[in-house]
Amino acid sequence: MWSRDTRDWETPLYLSSSFQRSIVSRATSPVPYHPNVLMHDGSPGNYRQNTVNSVQRIITFYKDRGYAFTNPAGR
C-alpha cells in the first residue's frame, strides 16, 4: 500500500547527511497523491540514525503542503 519507498534499509553503517538527503528525496519527490511512505526501523546490526534523522524533515515537508498523518487504517 506504500507509494514511496525510501530504501532507507540500504543505509551505510555510519552517519551520512548525503544518505539522509536521499531518504528525504525518495519520500517527497515527486509528490504522490495520498502518499504512503515506507520506512524501516531497522533490524539488529543495522544503523538506524540516518532514518531517524530524516523523519522530521519528511513530516515537515508534507505538513507544509497540508497533508495530515494517519495510521494505515486512515484514522
Report yes or no on 52 lying in a domain. yes
The rounded distance, in Å, linking the Cα atoms of 23 and 32 is 16
Report yes or no on 75 lying in a domain. no
Report yes or no on 39 lying in a domain. yes
Report yes or no on 71 lying in a domain. no
Strands (E) in 1-75, as ranges, are 4-5, 37-38
- Domain limits at 35? 4-64
Report yes or no on 23 lying in a domain. yes
The tally of domains found in the chain comes to: 1
Report yes or no on 69 lying in a domain. no
Report yes or no on 73 lying in a domain. no
Digit-coded pLDDT (tens) for 29-47? 988 788 889 998 776 667 8
Report yes or no on 51 lying in a domain. yes
CB hemisphere CA count around 11 (13 angstroms): 27
The rounded distance, in Å, linking the Cα atoms of 69 and 75 is 8
**Contact present, 23 and 54 (Cβ < 8 Å):** yes
On whether the pTM is more than 0.95, the answer is no
Q: Could you tell me which residue, 24 or 30, shows the higher pLDDT?
A: 24
